[in-house]
Amino acid sequence: MRSANNVVLPPADGAGYLELPGELDLSRLQHLMGLKTSLVDARLRRAFHQGMKDLKLRPVDFTILVILQSNDGVSQKVLCRALDISAPGLAVILDRLQARDLLVRARNETDRREHRLSLTAAGRKLAAEAERRSRDLEADVLASLSAAEQKQLAFLLGKLLPR
């Protein structure tokens, strides 16, 4: 059902409301979007970890590899800002990825303090495989939504992201 401003409304039978296994009354929690997004996030993370286990990729590793696929030569500083990770925290992650021969750091020739990041051939191959798997994993979790609902969800979540 849609409202006058084309927003999808929950069906009258209550489908889509917060329900967890068991016999708990959760009616007083229906207003908590944070709880709902956390529960969905937990489900997505479980699927991610299961699907990426053999690739030995953590979510942040995956994110960095996929970002570098489209942003070859990006600086560590820009990546820190984009991911809201401290420089020392990012350095630990990059060390781990570099030890696996997935990326290389190169000093910027014009500003020797800056490091530029690029994927190795192995990094590009792993990133492509992980990205393909991630699409399948998310599709499985989101299968209860129509394609239009998935687009609407992505749009609405995007509106809530910081700018």
pLDDT of residue 13: 52
Contact 72, 119 (CB under 8 A): yes
Phi-psi region of 162 (alpha: psi -120 to 50; beta: other; left: phi over 0): beta
Q: pLDDT tens digits for the chain (163 residues)?
A: 444 445 545 555 555 566 666 777 777 888 888 888 998 999 999 999 999 999 999 999 999 999 999 999 999 999 999 999 999 999 999 999 999 999 999 887 776 677 899 999 999 999 999 999 999 999 999 999 999 999 999 999 999 987 7
What are the sequence ranges of the domains in the chain?
54-127
What dotted CATH number matches 54-127? 1.10.10.10
pLDDT attached to residue 10: 54
